[in-house]
Structure 1
Amino acid sequence: MSTANAPTRWRSVLPHLDQPLPPDRTPHPQGATGIQVSLPLELVRQSVQPKEYWDIPAEVADAYRVFRPTPLWRARAFERAVDARVPIYVKYEGGNISGSHKLNTALAQAYYYARAGVRELVTGTGAGQWGTALAAACALFGMKCTVFMVGTSLHHKPHRGTLMRTLGAQVHASPSNLTDIARQSTTGVNSLSLAIGEAVEYAARTDGAAFCIGSGETYSILHQSVIGLEAADQLTALDARIDTVVGCVGAGSNFGGIALPFFAAATAAGTRPPHLVAAESATTPKLTRGTYAYDRTDATGTGPMEAMYTIGSSYPIPDAHAAGLRFHGAAKVLSAMRHRDQITATAVGQVQALQAGRLFTRGEMVLPAPESGHALAAAARLAGAGTDTAHGPLRAQRGVLVCVSGHGYLDLSAYQQLMDGELTDDSPDPQALRAAVRGLNRIQQPTRPAPATAPPPRHTLATPHEATATAGSRP
């Protein structure tokens, strides 16, 4: 097992992209109004400026040192269990209070919002890892926290709610009776998009509160770069060689955190980056079966439309043990890179994911979250007989690095259902997928070069320390 020093800077991939990201679009006609999402200015800067390194604030770095650096090891028992031809290295992010990588950005965001004078952070969460991370960060920085958690997930994992409440958060099952968007919902569907929409609406009408989200936004992926930066140092210390990096994808912060620092390092050195493989849920196959188009990021439809690979925000995602992977779209950074063949993707069903998680548990004595099981299943394919991806057969030749983004101790019911033979995998209906993206503004060609300067942010949030501006919402 290898450790390293915790990074003192985050590393951005933006300076290393060959083209700029497509600009966000407002969903409202000229003069129309809607709920607005405000961000501290530093988070806006981190989203748009092509600056490579960003200093981690001292208060955030101190909080990181409680659980970072996180361990990396060669998973030899798992290699034997899956008949791997090449080494498999695991970067484990489940050893903090939230049980996942989500705490890396939750601490950073709570710090910036607190400096901006915000007294309460409001969010939506699927499996509860992000809600738990934000509750912990708010407790550390003396802020209130309100969480809307997907109702079916909260029902299956009530102890997630207990942990968030122990940390001082208010937790509401979504759909709730607290928001207009939930009351007006005609489907009654339990979805992350709706939970986020409830959080956006609730924050907009609550004095001193701000909506906060932690997965697909460019600044949250930047904060997660500590994962890949540490992993690169740890692999060097082990004299290990890899040519493939795997992470699971909901909106994209875990995969972006483990993979994009390797892309940035390779492009900066003028060398070929490793294969970057995003493992997504087969129930929510945005990168493998979705459309690259402008789509909304939450059920309110009031935030900016973002360019993303999507299966449509209206698509009724089937219930499955994929937890945080059950979001309809991928981060705009990852979507742009997918469109340019800089990353690839593979879809994994819940049965295969949990089977991989069980093999990993029995060999490595670490219980992975179901989301991480998707990454482990993909890593096993890549290190073993190979896999068919959207880009054809892909096979690791030297070694695989995989991020186990969180622990599964609050997901034991999923493993019990697996062992009881109660789980199946149903492929999404192609007609339903087509219907959900019908009418979206598709992106057919790579984007044009960026203007000399980025357009100014559209809105402001008063702060005693610095000016702030707004950006879109995302899980």
Structure 2
Amino acid sequence: MPTHWYNFLGDLPGPMPEVRDSGSPTAAEISAQVRPRVLIEQNAPDEQWIAIPEPVVQWLRQCGRPTPLHRAHRLEKHLGTGARIYLKREDVLPSGSFKLNTAIAQAYYAAEEGRTTLVTETGAGQWGMSVALAAKMFGLRAEIFMVRCSLEQKPYRRHYMELLGAEVRPSPSTHTAIGRKILGEVPDHPGSLGTAISDAIEHALGHPSAAYLAGSGMPHVYLHQTLLGLEIAQQLKETHGEDLGVDGRGDHLIACSGGGSNLCGLIGPHLRAKADGADLRFLAAESTAAPRLTQGVYAYGRTDLGGFTPEVLGYTMGESFIPPPNHVGGLRNHHSSALVSLLRREGVLDAVAFDQRTALEAGRLLLQTEGLLLAPEAGHAVAAALDVAAKADAQNLEPVIVILASGAGFLDLQGYDEVLLDA
């Protein structure tokens, strides 16, 4: 397992766009109040390599890092493809997803700073589960605002969090002023990450001993997730004898994209190689329920609805956009992160969008061939990989294709059933 995170901000194709921060208090002042100081510093670190604190390393190893890199031989045979398809198995972690990588780090820094409670939002529940578990590791409380439609669709994720002692509330929430305002305007609002972020930050502001943790969208989160790309490079070379980016082969790194944390963790350590000429393609697979990277406009906007976050330049559907209540809660963002949007804008990152049926069909195929059941969000990455393999075969190419298997799907069976079996 890597003992350092990799700061890839210096490998970006251009400078990060300036943020717009107005209001009283400003978003920066709010962030300084609710976020642990070290996390704010890690948004723009000076060093290229940042040592992972030893207690974090120990917990990550105990939880199963490094995670396996699985060669999908049976899927390749079923497709009749010359591509070599690998899955990075983040689904095997105790909370069922890659989110644990940064949850452990952020909980550690919160505990070191003397915070007693972790407050956060969660879409599909994978981040909330990881925060609930990380809180227990460091003797902290957890309070989690979960998008209402996902809470109703995935009740067992709530049960998991509550088993760990976390308090889970639906978002929009009657416990906050912004939640009550949203419900007053749209009483049957299904919730979104925009509502849940607003609920969580407002709640954290009212509790001085609380730390607000973000599951995505922030550079410090992307930093912690570089474990993904670093481990993959080492595993491909040492275990499978593969070098990424061989000229003329068109190798692909593919991840689903909501807030961008698993995507950036996958491709961040490889940005410099691509800039130096490696034959690498980076692909973001998003949901047609919130197709920001494929259909959004490039404009300033906020990731929350309460005005607690600054305006950042990114691909957006607009703050008034309410994503439909489908089964891919982790991808239902109205505004894409500035960093992911920059990579897309500069042509470093490609993007495709799939509806939930296509994503879940891809998930079912993976289960039937490899015996792996992934969350619907990760199914989007599998669907993208199937298209990439088909196009490579048509061109007589044999690329390496790495799919980020970002989460387990056992707690998403209701979605698989309603979309694929009840239809």
The answer, yes or no, to whether TM exceeds 0.5 is yes
The alignment partner of 1:184 has SS state of helix
Q: Does 1:259 align with 2:241?
A: no
Aligned partner of 1:286 among 289, 292, 317: 292
Deviations along 1:247-281, one digit per CA (max 9) or x if unpaired, are 000010011111121223444xx333510000001
The one-letter code matched in structure 1 to 2:215 is G
The one-letter code matched in structure 2 to 1:151 is R
Aligned partner of 2:49 among 53, 58, 80: 53
With the length of structure 2 as denominator, give the TM-score of the two structures.
0.92
CA apart distance, 1:325: 0.7
The alignment partner of 1:384 has SS state of helix
Quote the residue 2:225 is aligned against.
Answer: 224
Aligned partner of 2:119 among 95, 118, 122: 122
Q: Does 1:248 align with 2:256?
A: yes
Percent identical across equivalent pairs? Answer: 40
Aligned partner of 2:6 among 11, 18, 40: 11
Cα 1:394/1:246, change in 2 over 3 Å: farther
Quote the residue 1:64 is aligned against.
Answer: 60
Aligned partner of 2:334 among 324, 328, 344: 328
- Taking the aligned partners of 1:187 and 1:410, their CA distance within structure 2 comes to 29
Aligned partner of 2:31 among 29, 37, 49: 37
Cα 1:153/1:312, change in 2 over 3 Å: same
- Give the superposed CA RMSD: 1.9
Q: Is residue 7–residue 45 contact of structure 2 (8 Å, CA) maintained in 1?
A: no
Quote the residue 1:467 is aligned against.
Answer: none
Quote the residue 1:165 is aligned against.
Answer: 162
The alignment partner of 2:103 has SS state of helix
- Taking the aligned partners of 2:21 and 2:193, their CA distance within structure 1 comes to 21
CA apart distance, 1:175: 2.1
Q: Is residue 36–residue 211 contact of structure 2 (8 Å, CA) maintained in 1?
A: no
After superposition, residues 456-471 of structure 1 pair within 5 angstroms as: none
Cα 1:395/1:305, change in 2 over 3 Å: farther
Quote the residue 1:137 is aligned against.
Answer: 134
Count of aligned pairs between the two proteins: 408
Q: Is residue 132–residue 164 contact of structure 1 (8 Å, CA) maintained in 2?
A: yes
The one-letter code matched in structure 2 to 1:215 is S
CA apart distance, 1:33: 6.4
- Taking the aligned partners of 2:348 and 2:292, their CA distance within structure 1 comes to 16
Q: Is residue 295–residue 305 contact of structure 1 (8 Å, CA) maintained in 2?
A: yes
- Taking the aligned partners of 1:273 and 1:144, their CA distance within structure 2 comes to 46
Q: Is residue 91–residue 231 contact of structure 1 (8 Å, CA) maintained in 2?
A: yes
After superposition, residues 300-379 of structure 1 pair within 5 angstroms as: 300-379=306-385
CA apart distance, 1:218: 0.7
CA apart distance, 1:9: 0.6
Structure 1 unaligned regions, length at least 5: 1-5, 388-392, 423-475
CA apart distance, 1:41: 2.9
Q: Is residue 251–residue 325 contact of structure 1 (8 Å, CA) maintained in 2?
A: yes
With the length of structure 1 as denominator, give the TM-score of the two structures.
0.82
The alignment partner of 1:336 has SS state of helix
- Taking the aligned partners of 1:241 and 1:33, their CA distance within structure 2 comes to 46
- Taking the aligned partners of 1:419 and 1:41, their CA distance within structure 2 comes to 46
- Taking the aligned partners of 2:81 and 2:106, their CA distance within structure 1 comes to 39
Deviations along 1:93-150, one digit per CA (max 9) or x if unpaired, are 0112210000000011111111122111111101100001011111101111100101
Structure 2 unaligned regions, length at least 5: 245-250
